[in-house]
A and B are shown apart, each in its own frame.
Chain A
């Protein structure tokens, strides 16, 4: 009899009543709305143009990079972009690390050795050139910003180390921009030396269209089209900006599962505990 009375009293316990959990539901709802709002912002480039969206293998919560896509993207970067764009924070050794293109150590050594780097001073105080090693950064096309501007009609080709994080729209922006070269609309007031791009803010970009079909040789049978090149190099640049993305996604899943189970345990522990108090 006594037990039953207690059990009945225990029913409207705080841990069972929805209204008491309302703060969290409200917080989650507000955050979700805020997220949707924030997420809607970067979908547009500076020119307020809707970007093209590609399906990226790394987007989803369990997303990973496609190794062969990263390798192709590196080839496009190396043979096309690297003529003007540096990548100062990326070292050759990064190409071999887990979660990236995962070239073998030997491949990375060979890739690095294609370029020289100034080293020194040696024991006589002289600087000397030597082949690059995996520990060395990717070669920069220009000695400094002034040299870069002088060679590019005053425009500065930005460094690509974190470019995907530095542009709202991320990989979609890179992809859209590279496939966004068009004939200017009839009557559009083009400045001399500029190129029309549908996705660049103001539509006038100093960089000439860098990609053409079959400009880079793919050996794995992937179509050698501008669209494919743009996707591959955007994926490669995403990895370069966020080399720990795969580890992050993986740990995130473990943490979320842990927290969800802990929340469940705490909920039931709390219910038991508070049952006495009602």
Chain B
């Protein structure tokens, strides 16, 4: 199945070059690479991601020409780009929204891999390299968000670096080492800038390995069965390049919508307020693509034995990514594609819903109630009277004081304080915990078990036969 380089130089120059640097042979190999003929549009996201990475690198290098990494100047230099630099607004909005589009594409790419079992033998290394790229992307995106030095930049950096403070014994030392001081400040901004510039090139290197690891076993495909002969494949160029180009163009329409018509909707208004180390915004949220992990971090609100809730949250969050590294060995099924795994297919869609739910939960205030069983006991003229009513209720019934909630209400120009007795409330923190448990259960319980008990559908003999059969039907 491994594809040999069959390139023969056609003229004297290419022959001369090929003996010294077989780059033409490599290009030939890439273009002629036999690709399963049944790849669907979910497979165009690899090319889209390559485009995203290159766009981020090119626009990023340009932004650096105009940006100043200093706490006193960073915010204004970004606005200088937006206001004065020729097409600066375009380049910055492409870069900022490009990060979101990059994550949108990578999530689709990853869920495609999960659905069609692309992580299974012989593609474990390919998958692991992909997870490394994803981790590096998160690091780059986080540090990039710090650079405009707005309120979300500063407080996001503060919260995330403080996670490392949860590590026993060395936590404080690590935190100060990350900051280069006793709080997030100029040294932090400058080192984040340096690393933000470096990481994309590391990603580029790992992408080369990722493609190399792809070209050894070849592409997986929607049927999940291996390529048997030439009937099953088409040449990458032009058959797949034209599909990739169409996929990319449609993707760019969405990209362009954000850049030109809604460039700030994916960001947060607070990041247009310059960083103020003395004042935290009322509601800190990371960018949307990190929200599921933020929800997992906040889901652990209780101590587990010697592990306090803070460290527990950090462990759960890093664990939720670490688990992806061992996924190829957690899934025990021999069948790759969900098309032939009816039970797995249903659980997969539930898993997608769990991930989306975590994303939603990560964006909400943790004490927001989702459903509640409660009773309004009365509306009072002032907070003092409300407190007195609560005290009375506590003394007369078996309710405790923390079961009562006060809300300001204004009705027909009259102010009052409404007191509510909450008998039971399911809030965002509880939902996050349930979803976190389901997230881990999918990998640790479901995938190992399903492979053992699931009755899979019969696999087609070959890709070409399946394609023909589908056509007849």
9 contacts between A and B (CB under 8 A): A27-B108, A39-B265, A165-B269, A166-B272, A244-B82, A252-B256, A256-B256, A259-B253, A263-B253
Q: Interface 1/0s, chain A 169-186, versus B by CB < 8 A?
A: 000000000000001111
Q: Interface 1/0s, chain A 244-278, versus B by CB < 8 A?
A: 10011101110110011011001101100110011
Chain A residues whose CB sits within 8 angstroms of the CB of B265 once the complex forms: 35, 38-39
Nearest-Cβ distance from residue A253 to partner chain B, whole angstroms? 8
Interface majority SS on B: helix, strand, loop or mixed? helix
Does A46 belong to the interface (CB within 8 Å)? yes
B79-A186 in contact (CB<8A): no
A21-B41 in contact (CB<8A): yes
Does B471 belong to the interface (CB within 8 Å)? yes
B253-A61 in contact (CB<8A): no
A266-B246 in contact (CB<8A): yes
Question: What is the bound-complex CA distance between A27 and B260, given in angstroms?
Answer: 19
Does A121 belong to the interface (CB within 8 Å)? no
Which one of B65-73, B119-127, B318-326, B413-421 contacts A?
A: B413-421
Does B245 belong to the interface (CB within 8 Å)? yes
B415-A187 in contact (CB<8A): yes
Chain A residues whose CB sits within 8 angstroms of the CB of B245 once the complex forms: 266
Chain B residues whose CB sits within 8 angstroms of the CB of A166 once the complex forms: 269-270, 272-273
Q: How large is the interface on B (under 10, 10 to 19, 20 to 34, 35 or more residues)?
A: 35 or more
Chain B residues whose CB sits within 8 angstroms of the CB of A27 once the complex forms: 104, 108, 254
Does B61 belong to the interface (CB within 8 Å)? no
Known contacts A243-B83, A256-B256: A270-B242 contact under CB 8 Å = yes
B89-A252 in contact (CB<8A): no
A273-B246 in contact (CB<8A): no
- B interface list, Cβ under 8 A from A: 37, 40-42, 76, 79, 82-83, 89-90, 93, 104, 108, 234, 238-239, 242-243, 245-247, 249-250, 252-254, 256-257, 259-266, 269-270, 272-273, 282, 381-383, 410, 413-416, 467, 470-471
Which A residues from 145 to 188 make CB contacts under 8 A with B?
158, 161-162, 165-168, 183-188
Question: What is the bound-complex CA distance between A243 and B238, given in angstroms?
Answer: 43
Cβ 8 A contact of B269, one of A42, A94, A186: A42
Chain B residues whose CB sits within 8 angstroms of the CB of A260 once the complex forms: 253
Does A14 belong to the interface (CB within 8 Å)? yes
Which A residues from 78 to 98 make CB contacts under 8 A with B?
89, 94
Does A31 belong to the interface (CB within 8 Å)? yes
Chain B residues whose CB sits within 8 angstroms of the CB of A188 once the complex forms: 410, 415
Question: What is the bound-complex CA distance between A255 and B76, given in angstroms?
Answer: 29
- Among A21, A61, A241, A266, chain B packs the most CB atoms within 10 A around the CB of A266
- Among B41, B104, B238, B262, chain A packs the most CB atoms within 10 A around the CB of B41
Chain A residues whose CB sits within 8 angstroms of the CB of B79 once the complex forms: 89, 161-162
16 new A-B pairs (CB below 8 Å) besides A162-B79, A186-B413, A252-B260?
A: A12-B471, A20-B41, A23-B42, A27-B108, A28-B254, A35-B262, A165-B264, A185-B415, A243-B83, A251-B90, A252-B259, A255-B256, A259-B252, A263-B253, A266-B242, A273-B238
